[in-house]
Amino acid sequence: MRRARTGRRLRFTALGAGAVMVALLAPGGSAAAQGTVAPAPGSNLSQQTMGNLLAALNGESYAYAKYDAYRQVATSPLAALWGRTADMELRQHFAHFAGAYRLAGTDKANLTAAVAGEAYETTDMYPTFAREAAAAGDQAASRLFGELAADEAHHRALFAQALTATNGGGGTVPAPPSVEPVKVVVNVATVKPHTLQNLLTAMHGEAFAHAKYLTYAQAARTHGALKLSQLFAGTAKVELREHFATEANLAGLAGGARANLLVAIGGETDEAKVVYPDAAQQAYLANETVVGNLFRQTAHDEARHAASFASALRHLTLPDGTAVQLSQSPYRHRSGPMDGTGPLARPALDGTGNRWGWGL
Ligand SMILES: [Fe+2]
Ligand SMILES: [Fe+2]
Ligand SMILES: [Fe+2]
Ligand SMILES: [Fe+2]
C-alpha cells in the first residue's frame, strides 16, 4: 500500500444552549486515540452521559462503515437498503451525538486533536499491531499495519502543517492526501484471533476518524476555511476508502447477504433494546432530559432498522428455494470467523463498564 503520500440539518435541534450543531452535508475516520477524545471543554453533561455519547459515536461511525461495506458487495435492492441505512447512521445518528458531545471545536482544537490521533496511530497502535501480527505469523497483516503506520505519519504531518498555518506561524494549509479506493469484497478471515481482534480495533478507529474528520470538515466550511475543510474531507476519504476497506477485507467483514443481515439485525436489536434505552435511562437520572430523549429516539430508529433488515431477510431464499424463517432467531446464529466473539456475540463489558465490545 503506497499510501503514505498519502445531509442534512440535524433533526434534533434542542440539545441545549451552546451545543455545537453538526450537519454532515457531504457524503462521506483511532480506536484508542481517535475513539477516546477527551470530553469537550465546557460540557456540563455528566461523565456517564459523556461516556455513553462517546460510545455511541464509536458505534454509529462503525455502523456507517460496515453498512457501506455491505452495500458494496450487495445487489439491488438490498444495496439500496444498506446505503439508506448507512446514511442515517452517519448523517443523523452520528451527527446528533456529535452535536451533543460537542465533538467539533475551533479549527485549532480540531487540528490539535487530529494531530494527536494520527500520532498515536503512527507511533503506538499500528507499530504494536504490526509486531503482534508478525509474532503470530500473520505476515500480510503485519505488512498492512506497517504501511498504515506510514500513512498516518503522513496525515500527522499534513495536519501539523495546517495547524502551523492556522496559528499564523507561516506556510499554507496543504492539499489533502490522494485516495486510492479499495473495493470491499466478500472474504473469510484467515488471521489468528488476536490479529483479528486488532484488525477490528483498527477498523473502529478508522471508521471513527472518517466520521470525525467529516465533522471537522463541515465545521471549517461553515466559516469559510475551505482549504482546511478539503484537507479534513480528503483525509476522511482515505481513512474509509483505503484503510477501513483494506482492513475489512483482511478481517472478512463482508459475508453473504443472509450473514450480513443477521449480523446487522443482532447489532440493531441490541442498540434498540439495551444500549440506547440504558443510556437514556442514565441521562434521565442525571436530569439530562434532552440527551435522554436523543438516546430514546435513536433506540426507536434502530428498532426500525432491525425490522427493515428482518423484512429483507424474509425475502431472501435459501439455496434449496425455501424462504428463510425468521423464527430461526438471529441470536442463535453464531457463525463467523471469531471464536467467542462472533458477529452476533453479545458485546462484552469492557474495562470501563460499558458494553461496547467489538464485533464484526
Ligand atoms: Fe444508529
Ligand atoms: Fe489517518
Ligand atoms: Fe487511518
Ligand atoms: Fe441502525
Work out the pLDDT band at 316, boundaries 50, 70, 90: confident
Protein residues near ligand 4, an ion, with CB under 5 A = 268, 302, 305
For residue range 236-252, list pLDDT tens digits in order. Answer: 999 999 999 999 999 99
Does position 171 have pLDDT exceeding 90, yes or no? yes
Does position 94 have pLDDT exceeding 80, yes or no? yes
Domains and CATH numbers, the chain: 43-102+257-360 (1.20.1260.10), 104-255 (1.20.1260.10)
Query: What does the pLDDT read at residue 320?
Result: 62
Ligand nearest to the CA of 84: 4
Q: How many CB atoms lie within 10 A of CB 69?
A: 25
Rounded mean pLDDT of the chain?
Answer: 83
Query: What does the pLDDT read at residue 10?
Result: 24
d(CA 324, CA 86): 24
| Cα 276 to ligand 3 centre (Å) | 28
C-beta separation of 25 from 218 below 8 A: yes
Ligand nearest to the CA of 126: 3
> Hey, CA dihedral for 45, 58, 210, 205, is it positive or negative?
positive
Query: Average of pLDDT values for 297-316?
Result: 95
Whether the link from the prior residue into 330 is cis, omega within 30° of 0, is no
| Cα 106 to ligand 1 centre (Å) | 26
Query: What does the pLDDT read at residue 97?
Result: 98
| Cα 88 to ligand 1 centre (Å) | 7
Q: CA 110 → CA 113, 178, 228, 258, 281, distances in Å? A: 5, 21, 11, 40, 31
Helix intervals (H) in the chain: 31-35, 47-73, 78-88, 95-101, 107-120, 126-135, 139-166, 193-222, 226-237, 245-251, 257-270, 276-285, 289-314
Query: What does the pLDDT read at residue 23?
Result: 33
Query: What does the pLDDT read at residue 22?
Result: 32
d(CA 164, CA 245): 31
Ligand nearest to the CA of 232: 2
Work out the pLDDT band at 38, boundaries 50, 70, 90: low
| Cα 336 to ligand 2 centre (Å) | 29
| Cα 106 to ligand 3 centre (Å) | 22
C-beta separation of 177 from 218 below 8 A: no
Work out the pLDDT band at 279, boundaries 50, 70, 90: very high
Query: What does the pLDDT read at residue 161?
Result: 98
Query: Average of pLDDT values for 343-357?
Result: 34
For residue range 96-124, list pLDDT tens digits in order. Answer: 999 999 999 999 999 999 999 999 999 99
| Cα 118 to ligand 3 centre (Å) | 8
| Cα 93 to ligand 1 centre (Å) | 5
- Phi-psi sector, 98: left (phi>0), alpha (psi -120 to 50), beta: alpha
Ligand nearest to the CA of 148: 3
For residue range 200-230, list pLDDT tens digits in order. Answer: 999 999 999 999 999 999 999 999 999 999 9
| Cα 304 to ligand 4 centre (Å) | 8
Q: Strand, helix or coil at 317?
A: strand
d(CA 6, CA 122): 14
| Cα 170 to ligand 4 centre (Å) | 44
d(CA 107, CA 104): 8
Query: What does the pLDDT read at residue 332?
Result: 31
C-beta separation of 178 from 166 below 8 A: no
Does position 47 have pLDDT exceeding 70, yes or no? yes
Query: Average of pLDDT values for 48-75?
Result: 97
| Cα 31 to ligand 3 centre (Å) | 10
Q: CA 152 → CA 112, 125, 169, distances in Å? A: 15, 11, 23
Protein residues near ligand 1, an ion, with CB under 5 A = 60, 89, 93
Ligand nearest to the CA of 243: 3
Query: What does the pLDDT read at residue 49?
Result: 97
Does position 21 have pLDDT exceeding 50, yes or no? no
| Cα 47 to ligand 4 centre (Å) | 25
Ligand nearest to the CA of 152: 2
- In angstroms and rounded to an integer, the radius of gyration of the C-alpha atoms of the chain is 20
Query: What does the pLDDT read at residue 242?
Result: 98
Question: Which has more pLDDT, 349 or 233?
Answer: 233
Does position 9 have pLDDT exceeding 60, yes or no? no
C-beta separation of 43 from 290 below 8 A: no
pTM: 0.82
| Cα 90 to ligand 4 centre (Å) | 10
C-beta separation of 176 from 158 below 8 A: yes
For residue range 137-159, list pLDDT tens digits in order. Answer: 999 999 999 999 999 999 999 99
| Cα 202 to ligand 3 centre (Å) | 8
Q: Which of 312, 347, 343, 341 is nearest to 326 (CA)?
A: 312
Q: Strand, helix or coil at 5?
A: coil
